[in-house]
Amino acid sequence: MSEAAPRARRVSMTDVARIAGVSQKTVSRVINDEPYVTDAVRERVLEVIDRVGFRPNEAARALVTQRTRRIGVVAMGGTAFYGPTSVLAGVESVARGAGYALSVMRTDPGEGADIQAAIDALAGQGAEAIVISEPVDFGRGPLSIPDGVEVLTFGMAPVTSSPRELVIGADEEASSRDATEHLLVQGHATVHHISGPMNWLSSQRRHEGWQRALADEGAPVTEPVEGDWTPAGGYAAMAAILEAGPCTSVFVANDQMAIGAMSAIQAAGLRIPEDVAVVGFDDIDVSAYLPVPLTTVRQDFAETSRIGMHRLLRALDGHAPESTHRTLRAHLVIRESSRNPSIR
């Protein structure tokens, strides 16, 4: 049996200092982005670090700086849903670009009580901040956040006990009201609704916007049918609505369910939008390229993630925000699925 080749020695800070012709302290200052290093020296040290492939020992650096540079993410709904997936992609991009590592814990969307356990586990791993994506209403008090841990929630309302919680999201209630009013303006006597799971806060807000628009116009409020965010759920919900009685328009809480609803409408021998007009929510990539392009509410998840994460990174650097809440606009994108429907 041949003798195993010796493992290559890891490049050390001492090696970097020797090659760059500076002290180890100077290398440490460059790595930790500390002052008292000239631009020329900083550039030389960074060039050596890149050339020799030096990687700082994160555990040792954390002991010195008292910073783990780790952010924990609690993501509900797994990776199948467009909103949480898009938010997570934006969070990862900004965090890694800023030199932070991510620890992601996923919780079952039907088991909201798991969120607190996930927060506790991430804090135990040394996370400096917790990001909560797509929060659900799990019937308990505010989530508990350890002292010294920053928190960012993607939504419209705080869900933790931290007075420093940063909250960012689109005004889903207002945009759902716009979507419903758009259908009413087309001449429909009322608008049916396929909601998301009602333990999701986003489902509740979209439901409230739909209901308020009908109330403001004095239109009849039909019983909403709850879906599960999937095309299959949208198909089943739409089939139930059509079976229950006449329907000329429907506002669906996300585009995936709207696609299923459109399939159910066509399977019933009805036309879109001549017989039933459809509006979705999210503006997923395929929405514009369906056989009947889907009218929908566009949320800019990339911009929401970018702004939210930049605010969180500033908080981690000790900068208090002027406001803990930030609301972004969502826009109704009108396409063929709701244009010129038959007046009922």
- For residues 333 and 110, the model is more confident at 333
Q: Measuring CA to CA, which residue among 159, 100, 97 is closest to residue 324?
A: 159
Q: What is the model's pLDDT at position 55?
A: 67
Kindly tell me if the per-residue pLDDT of 134 is higher than 70.
no
Q: What is the model's pLDDT at position 5?
A: 41
Instruction: Give the DSSP H or E segment for 106.
Output: strand 101-107
Taking residues 69-89, report their average pLDDT: 78
User: What residue type is 182 in one-letter code?
Assistant: H
Instruction: State the pairing for strand pair 296-298/331-333.
Output: antiparallel
pLDDT band at 8 (very low <50, low <70, confident <90, very high): very low
Kindly tell me if the per-residue pLDDT of 190 is higher than 90.
yes
What per-residue string of b and e applies to 170-206 under the rule 16 or more CB within 10 Å gives b?
Answer: bbbbbbbbbbbbbbbebebebbbbbbbbebbbbbbbb
pLDDT band at 10 (very low <50, low <70, confident <90, very high): low
Q: Looking at the DSSP assignment, which residues form a beta bridge with residue 105?
A: 74
Taking residues 166-193, report their average pLDDT: 95
Taking residues 267-276, report their average pLDDT: 96
Per 3-state DSSP, the chain is made up of helix, strand and coil in percentages (nearest 5) of 45, 15, 40
- For residues 264 and 136, the model is more confident at 264
Q: What is the model's pLDDT at position 247?
A: 96
- For residues 241 and 85, the model is more confident at 241
Q: Which pair of structure tokens corresponds to residue 261?
A: 């609803």
Kindly tell me if the per-residue pLDDT of 282 is higher than 90.
yes
Q: What is the model's pLDDT at position 135?
A: 66
Rg of the chain, C-alpha, whole Å: 25
Q: What pLDDT digit, counting tens, does each position of 15-56 carry?
A: 888 999 999 888 878 877 777 889 899 899 889 888 887 766
Q: What is the model's pLDDT at position 319?
A: 87
Q: Which of 140-149, 308-317, 318-327 has the lowest mean pLDDT?
A: 140-149
- For residues 115 and 4, the model is more confident at 115
Q: What pLDDT digit, counting tens, does each position of 100-122 carry?
A: 888 888 877 555 567 888 888 88
